[in-house]
Amino acid sequence: MILLDQLEAQLDVLNAKSLRRRRRTADTACAPRVTVDGNPVLAFCSNDYLGLAAHPKIISALQQGASLYGVGSGASHLISGHSRAHAILEERLADFMAPHIESARALYFCTGYMANLAVLCGLAAVSGRDTEIFSESLNHASLIDGAKLSRAQVHVYPHGQVLALQSLLEASSAPTKIVVTDSVFSMDGDLAPLPAILALCEKHNAWLVIDDAHGFGALGEHGRGVLEHFNLRSPNLVYMGTLGKAAGVGGAFVAAHATVIDWLVQKARPYIYTTAAPPALAHALLTSLEIIGGAEGHARRAHLQELIAQLRGDLRLQRWTLMPSTTAVQPIIIGDNAESMRAAASLYEQGIWVPAIRPPTVPDGTARLRITLSAAHTHDDVACLLDAVNTLETRA
């Protein structure tokens, strides 16, 4: 069949470039030591930064939520799917982020991808095609797609280049200007220069949309993410945090001024036209928030920082390059796609699961091993990883 032949030919092209993606199947709960495709492995690949994905208290809260609210929500939020669990979670999230967002309200989404589409398309709807979006070059795919779907004019500025962004904003006369950036770049682990970017947004009357998927829960004294890390507060901020990474459950939220949230409820199609997430998840997230903001969350973040320091201090690379990151994302640049795949396969054969990340997720020529650390890891776990990577790099 011609159509299938076309697909097979394109899959062969991906194979030849070492770009074909394949899945592994986890047989056990998300944790540092898991069984994958029947094999026990030490995993350094999840975004469970605080080790909460299998926390007993959160598991119990999820079970309680299912008993209280059932399994499914039954409809979209604006029909009948907005449960008391959703409402309480949004109130708690707004309170949690209130030190950094004026007149804070929050809106809960099924996924971070949907939240980003909703924010960019919703804000752009104020001025339609006269809106201009200024997007960081290494932004997550959901932000890139949201900018495209918004039908606004999109300007891409180079990674971390505040002066380039300044020039674009100075040249803009758009009635609605939106600057959008990741906070922690998921494949590099570095932080956006948010204080300088926010100052530009306030000067030029622009929204600053921050995707803090990899910062919420993991950064800041109380886990309030990059806003707390940099001590930022502004009415120009629109903040997106995910709840399936450091929070350990699922979904995402947008926190912003109450007027912004009300506008998104009216205009954000990814929110309006989808079935609400199961209310049991929202109920479980209440316990996640308590842990993140409490003494246990503080201790887990401190332990995570110790692990980051251990890895960076004891990694001995000669040909490969460890990216400059202070976060739980610690990428090792190898460059060649095939060599990256061989390195990941060799580690897996030794019982260590570290994924190889290749284009188009990262730029051509920058294929890498993406190591992610969790507060659930031990110092011995990291020592095992270090020994394997240090040995592998000298033999590769």
Packed helices 295-314 and 379-395: angle between N→C axes, nearest 10 degrees: 30
225-272 tens-digit pLDDT: 999 999 999 999 999 999 999 999 999 999 999 999 999 999 999 999
78-109 tens-digit pLDDT: 999 999 999 999 999 999 999 999 999 999 99
55-83 tens-digit pLDDT: 999 999 999 999 999 999 999 999 999 99
Q: Which pLDDT value is given to residue 393? A: 78
Does the pLDDT value for residue 1 go beyond 90? no
CA angle, 324 then 244 then 152, to 5°: 75
Q: Which pLDDT value is given to residue 338? A: 94
Rounded to a whole number of angstroms, the CA Rg of the chain reads 21
What is the mean predicted confidence (pLDDT) over 293-299? Answer: 98
Task: Extract the tokens encoding 215.
Answer: 């910062």
What is the mean predicted confidence (pLDDT) over 362-387? Answer: 97
Which residues sit opposite 360 in a β-bridge?
A: none
In the chain, pLDDT over 90 holds for what percent of residues? 97
Residues in the chain: 396
CA angle, 364 then 165 then 196, to 5°: 110
Does the pLDDT value for residue 395 go beyond 80? no
Q: Which of 284, 297, 371 minimizes the C-alpha distance to 47? A: 371
Q: Which pLDDT value is given to residue 148? A: 96
Counting beta carbons within 10 angstroms of the beta carbon of residue 134, is it exposed (0 to 12), middle (13 to 18) or buried (19 or more)? buried
Q: Which pLDDT value is given to residue 24? A: 93
Q: Which of 182, 192, 139 minimizes the C-alpha distance to 161? A: 192
Amino acid at the residue 37: D
What is the mean predicted confidence (pLDDT) over 136-164? Answer: 97
What is the mean predicted confidence (pLDDT) over 199-217? Answer: 98
Does the pLDDT value for residue 118 go beyond 70? yes
Mean pLDDT of the chain: 96
Does the pLDDT value for residue 396 go beyond 90? no
Q: Which pLDDT value is given to residue 61? A: 98
Backbone angles phi, psi at 91, to 5 degrees: -65, -45
Q: Which pLDDT value is given to residue 394? A: 74
User: What does the H/E/C string look like for the chain?
Assistant: CHHHHHHHHHHHHHHHCCCCCCCCCECCCCCCEEEECCEEEEECCCCCCCCCCCCHHHHHHHHHHHHHHCCCCCCEHHHHHCCHHHHHHHHHHHHHHCCCCCCEEEEEECCHHHHHHHHHHHHHCCCHHHCEEEEECCCCHHHHHHHHHCCCEEEEECCCCHHHHHHHHHHCCCCCEEEEEECECCCCCCECCHHHHHHHHHHCCCEEEEECCCCCCCCCCCCCCHHHHHCCCCCCEEEEEECCCCCCCCCEEEEEEHHHHHHHHHHCHHHHCCECCCHHHHHHHHHHHHHHHCHHHHHHHHHHHHHHHHHHHHCCCCCCEECCCCCCEEEEEEECHHHHHHHHHHHHHCCEECCEECCCCCCCCCEEEEEECCCCCCHHHHHHHHHHHHHHHHHC
In the chain, pLDDT over 70 holds for what percent of residues? 100
Residues 327-337 as b/e (b if ≥16 CB within 10 A, e otherwise) read: bbbbbbbbeeb
d(CA 54, CA 101): 31
